[in-house]
Amino acid sequence: MAKGTAQDIRRRNRFDVLRSVFAASAPASRQEIAVTTGLSFATVANLVAELLEAGVLLEVGHDDSKGGRPRARLAVNAARGALLGIDVAETSVQIELFDLALTVKRAVRRELSVVDVSPDQVVDAIVTGIEELIGADGELPHLLGAGVSVPGLVEREGGVSVFSPYWSWRDVPLRALLAERLVVPLYLDNPLKAGTVAEMWFGAGREADDLVVATLRAGVGVGIAVGGSLYRGATNSAGEWGHTCLERGGRTCRCGRRGCVEAYVSTRGIARTVRELDPRSSLLDADEEVVLANVARARAEGDPVAVEAVARTARYLGMAAADLLNLFNPQTLVLGGLVAEHLGERLLSQTREAIAEHALPATVQALTLQLSTVPGNPVTRGAATFALEGFLDDRETFGTVAAGRRAARTARALAP
């Protein structure tokens, strides 16, 4: 039987305090954090004292107050250290260097060969990319951690890419391979989980605790947050929506089965839809990302093939999402990834219509459907957030029990 230990709650509350500081449009007071998180003032004061002591938060000024003790304003201490977010996608590796306030400081991108990428090639791309990033000027940032997203099924604790269908990787110990060449705490997961954790810290997850985040790119899948926590399932493979069946006996999918959602709403699926509409369409290209960009541009110009391709994609997406939504009944469904970025509001509104047609009324009424509001690439940001969470979980970050007691005393001294 699972249970919530006092430690789990403390961790959760610490995350909530920091999330509320990130979410605030200006430096926040302890009182404001208490209101946003729903935690007691004493708990907030205690956690803030800990975060100040660990250098994660800074006091950045005080409010005037009429007679009472001035209220300190708090912000994330951006200079405390740096985090890396690494998005190993099907055809490229994107690496971003963040400060602790999760502002992108520098970015680099390495293209991968189109077929049969080996683990060594990916490790090389990551290591040389980081070298380029960090060597970009003389100053060496203090790296607190690096999050790495790879497509497919990931065994997080062991840092293993269990199965990556795009390259047919099986049981690749990616974290161990990287650890041979990088001296920094490494956190491995997949783009669905990374995109969802980014949404939880920096997007729609600020408002909703039950959340489904669809990532639509070369691969398609969802991340699921339940009660404000990422839901992973028994083997961290929850969210494998891309290979649920949309059309029995339909299009062949790269997984070998037929009619999978991914075969319709991924970059490849959209290219295929265009080809079905007009095999000689000028929108077509060997690079499916180029097809997607062409469709988005031509759609805006009223090109009939592009108009129909977007309409069909939205219909496929809405039918598939309706079943997903009936099952999860989330407060919010977020559409993210390259497909959502390119097709934007048009895809959103037509998908909304298709969902309304196919999902149960109660599901639809409760639902907020929206595009991702995470700034930049949610996958690099989410990967960096895994590193941030790891840093916050690290016992060394918050010192010993004695330090905790000290913090508690400080908090009591500060309580109004």
Residues 6 or more apart whose Cβ sits within 8 Å of residue 283: 274, 291, 294, 295, 298, 303, 305, 306, 309
Q: Is 2 helix (H, G, I), strand (E, B) or coil?
A: coil
Among 46, 266, 363, 372, binds its own copies (CB under 8 A): 363
Q: Which residue's CB is nearer to its own copies, number 251 or number 342?
A: 251
Among 13, 31, 128, 397, binds its own copies (CB under 8 A): 13
Q: Is 251 helix (H, G, I), strand (E, B) or coil?
A: coil
- β-pairing verdict for 82-88 and 143-149: parallel
Asked if 17 and 40 touch (Cβ cutoff 8 Å), the reply is no
Q: Where are the beta strands (DSSP E) in 219-366?
A: 220-226, 229-231, 332-336
Among 16, 87, 199, 341, binds its own copies (CB under 8 A): 16
For residue 188, report the phi and psi dihedrals to the nearest 5 degrees.
-105, 135
Among 147, 330, 337, 390, binds its own copies (CB under 8 A): 330
d(CA 250, CA 241): 16
Tell me how far, at minimum, the Cβ of 360 lies from its own copies, in Å: 6
Q: Is 213 helix (H, G, I), strand (E, B) or coil?
A: strand
In the 8-state DSSP scheme, what is residue 147? E
Among 91, 121, 128, 331, binds its own copies (CB under 8 A): 331
Stretch that binds its own copies, among 63-71, 89-97, 134-142, 326-334 (CB under 8 A): 326-334
d(CA 247, CA 231): 27
Residue type, 306: A
Among 247, 278, 285, 308, binds its own copies (CB under 8 A): 247
Torsion (CA) 361, 366, 369, 370 in degrees, nearest 10: 170
Q: Judged by CB under 8 A, does residue 222 bind its own copies?
A: yes
Nearest to 151 by CA among 183, 184, 122: 122
Tell me how far, at minimum, the Cβ of 294 lies from its own copies, in Å: 29
Among 78, 134, 226, 414, binds its own copies (CB under 8 A): 226
Q: Judged by CB under 8 A, does residue 393 bind its own copies?
A: no
Q: Which residue's CB is nearer to its own copies, number 143 or number 325?
A: 325
Among 166, 202, 241, 264, binds its own copies (CB under 8 A): 241
Q: Which residue's CB is nearer to its own copies, number 253 or number 271?
A: 253
Asked if 152 and 163 touch (Cβ cutoff 8 Å), the reply is yes
Among 105, 106, 119, 328, binds its own copies (CB under 8 A): 328
Q: Judged by CB under 8 A, does residue 248 bind its own copies?
A: yes
Among 67, 138, 227, 279, binds its own copies (CB under 8 A): 227
Q: Judged by CB under 8 A, does residue 39 bind its own copies?
A: yes
d(CA 105, CA 96): 7
Q: Which residue's CB is nearer to its own copies, number 330 or number 378?
A: 330
Residue 224 β-bridge partners: 212, 231
Stretch that binds its own copies, among 180-188, 189-197, 319-327, 382-390 (CB under 8 A): 319-327
Residue 215 β-bridge partners: 221, 336
Among 159, 191, 239, 337, binds its own copies (CB under 8 A): 239
Q: Judged by CB under 8 A, does residue 140 bind its own copies?
A: no
Q: Judged by CB under 8 A, does residue 312 bind its own copies?
A: no
d(CA 183, CA 178): 9
Q: Judged by CB under 8 A, does residue 184 bind its own copies?
A: no
Q: Is 70 helix (H, G, I), strand (E, B) or coil?
A: coil
Q: Which residue's CB is nearer to its own copies, number 233 or number 304?
A: 233
Q: How many Cβ atoms are within 10 Å of 184's Cβ, its own excluded?
A: 15
Contact residues for its own copies (CB under 8 A)?
Answer: 1-4, 6, 8-9, 12-13, 16, 19-20, 36-39, 153, 162-163, 206, 209-210, 222, 226-229, 231-241, 243-248, 250, 257, 319, 323-324, 326-331, 358, 360-363, 365-367
